[in-house]
């Protein structure tokens, strides 16, 4: 498969920062997402331009130190994927230190600690966001991991366990005192899960508490959200997850917007090409596994990709009922053709709402799949 040339996006003055030997410029990061930000997806987004940093899915430090095959595979990086961070989670300082060292040895530019995951699987083992309730344990982990690394340690966290315990500034300071060189903050508490809206203003307290770069994260869906999040938080850069799943060009557009150049508007055909490139990467990346592995991933990614898009439910339905990889490709091709037949060549105004006055900005804010555009009767 040929690799496209990465478009060179101008970097706005001040929209870059340094972590160790690396310049993150533009100051945009693809957020870690389990089951999504694997090597193919990270490459895909990087190749579209405007992505300053990628982060792997979180990896269990326990599985890594046991040398579990799947965990090892998750640490595989591409030679041209830099700077890149490998994220780990766990609660045992010694194991976390071992795992961090292994990540460094596989070529990670940074090792990131997860203090944000709210999932029961992780918090019941008292890792992820559960560590926000155990500052002493978190401190031991920071010290052990920082002591084990030559590359920078970074931390991703939520604002706290709940609204009554928003201790992110203290935890962040603790991490930085131990040696952490960048902090990313999802503007929600563990108790919020994904409800409500990210509280970008509260991220400012973390920024004011530490002297290292801070990334603001949560609910950034448009270039204007990025502006607001940066303004309210005072952060040095943005980290975006779900927004990139719907609009893979979002990081590029944020970088362009900050630099004051025209925003890139992909055509429908480009969208088709990118989705198919991603499909191809998924299918080729793990060709050692049975077809149902790729099929499951294709279904998942199509679900994210179509949220809020015109007639997105139609493609989701076709994909979810597909029983082979070929059927997914055929269904996606039929969907793009269907849009073209209806003259929808730029039919993604909901996603790019603020750049397209035909759509109300509020429509683009929704991440809930139930909010998809209602199917219009065929012409």
Ligand X SMILES: Cc1cc2nc3c(=O)[nH]c(=O)nc-3n(C[C@H](O)[C@H](O)[C@H](O)COP(=O)(O)O)c2cc1C
Shortest reach from residue 307's CB to ligand X, in Å: 11
Which residues between 92 and 131 bind ligand X (CB under 6 A)?
A: 114, 116-117
Residue whose beta carbon is closest to ligand X = 241
Q: Which stretch binds ligand X (CB under 6 A): 73-81, 174-182, 235-243, 342-350?
A: 235-243
For ligand X, the closer CB: 308 or 329:
308
Tell whether residue 247 is a contact of ligand X (CB under 6 A): no
Q: Is 237 in the site for ligand X (CB under 6 A)?
A: no
Answer yes or no whether residue 138 interacts with ligand X by CB under 6 A: no
Nearer to ligand X, 116 or 349 (CB): 116
Note whether 172 binds ligand X by CB under 6 A.
Answer: no
Whether 117 sits among the annotated catalytic residues: the reply is yes
The token duo for 286 is: 């793990």
Binder among 65, 85, 87, 319 for ligand X (CB under 6 A): 87
Residues 334-373 that bind ligand X (CB under 6 A): none
Query: C-beta of 6: minimal distance to ligand X in Å?
Result: 22
Identify the residue among 41, 58, 200, 329 touching ligand X (CB under 6 A): 58
**SS3 string of the chain?**
CCCCCCCCCCCCCCCCEEECCEEECCCEEECCCCCCCCHHHHHHHHHHCCCCEEEEEEEEHHHHHCCCHHHHHHCCCCCCCCCEEEEEECCCHHHHHHHHHHHHHCCCCEEEEEECCCCHHHHCCCCHHHHHHCHHHHHHHHHHHHHHCCCCEEEEEEEECCCCCCCHHHHHHHHHHHCCCEEEEEEEECCCCCCCCCCHHHHHHHHHHCCCCEEEECCCCCHHHHHHHHHHHCCCEEEECHHHHHCCCHHHHHHHHHHCCCCCCCCHHHHHHHHHHHHHHHHHHCCCCCHHHHHHHHHHHHHHHCCCCCCHHHHHHHHHCCCCHHHHHHHHHHHHHHHHHCCCCCCCCCCCHHHCCCCCHHHHHCCCHHHCCCCCCCC
With CB under 6 A as the contact rule, the residue among 91, 95, 156, 314 that binds ligand X is: 156
Contact code string over 195-224 relative to ligand X, x by CB under 6 A = ----------------------xxxx----
Instruction: Give 57 or 62: the residue with its C-beta nearer to ligand X.
Output: 57
Pick the catalytic residue: 51, 103, 117, 192?
A: 117
Minimum distance between the CB of residue 94 and ligand X, rounded to whole angstroms?
22
- Of the residues 11, 12, 31, 210, which one makes contact with ligand X according to CB under 6 A: 31
Q: Which is nearer to ligand X, 194 or 320 (CB)?
A: 194
Strands 153-160 and 110-115: parallel
90 binds ligand X (CB under 6 A): no
Task: List residues binding ligand X (CB under 6 A).
Answer: 31-36, 57-58, 87, 114, 116-117, 156, 186, 217-220, 240-243
List residues with catalytic annotation.
Answer: 117
């Amino acid at each position: 498969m040929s690799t496209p040339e990465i478009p060179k996006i101008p970097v706005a003055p001040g929209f870059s920062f340094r972590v160790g030997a690396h310049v993150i410029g533009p100051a945009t990061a693809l957020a870690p997402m389990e089951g999504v930000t694997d090597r193919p997806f990270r490459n895909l987004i990087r190749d579209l331009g405007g992505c300053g940093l990628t982060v792997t899915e979180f990896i269990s430090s326990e599985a890594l130190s046991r040398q579990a095959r799947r965990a090892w595979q998750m640490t595989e990086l591409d030679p041209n994927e830099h700077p890149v961070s490998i994220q780990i989670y766990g609660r045992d300082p010694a194991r976390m230190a071992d795992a961090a060292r292994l990540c460094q040895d596989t070529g990670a530019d940074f090792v990131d600690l997860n203090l944000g995951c709210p999932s029961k699987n992780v918090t019941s083992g008292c890792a992820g966001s559960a560590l926000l309730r155990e500052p002493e344990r978190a401190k031991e982990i920071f010290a052990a991991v920082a002591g084990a690394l030559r590359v920078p340690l970074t931390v991703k966290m939520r604002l706290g366990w709940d609204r009554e315990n928003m201790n992110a500034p203290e935890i962040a300071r603790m991490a930085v005192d131990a040696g952490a060189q960048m902090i990313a903050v999802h503007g929600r508490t563990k108790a919020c899960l994904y409800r409500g809206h990210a509280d970008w203003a509260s991220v400012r307290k973390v920024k004011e508490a530490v002297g290292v770069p801070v990334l603001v994260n949560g609910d950034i869906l448009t270039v204007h959200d990025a502006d607001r999040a940066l303004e309210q938080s005072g952060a040095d850069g943005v980290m975006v997850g779900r927004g990139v799943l719907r609009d893979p060009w979002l990081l590029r557009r944020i970088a362009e917007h900050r630099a004051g150049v025209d925003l890139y508007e992909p055509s429908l055909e480009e969208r088709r090409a990118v989705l198919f490139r991603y499909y191809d990467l998924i299918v080729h990346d793990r060709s050692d596994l049975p077809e149902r592995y790729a099929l499951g991933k294709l279904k998942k990614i199509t679900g994210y990709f179509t949220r809020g898009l015109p007639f997105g439910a139609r493609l989701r339905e076709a994909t979810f009922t597909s029983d082979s990889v070929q059927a997914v490709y055929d269904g996606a091709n039929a969907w793009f053709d269907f849009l073209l037949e209806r003259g929808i060549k730029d039919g993604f105004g909901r996603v790019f709402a603020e750049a397209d006055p035909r759509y109300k900005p509020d429509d683009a804010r929704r991440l809930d799949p139930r909010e998809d555009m209602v199917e219009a009767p065929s012409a």
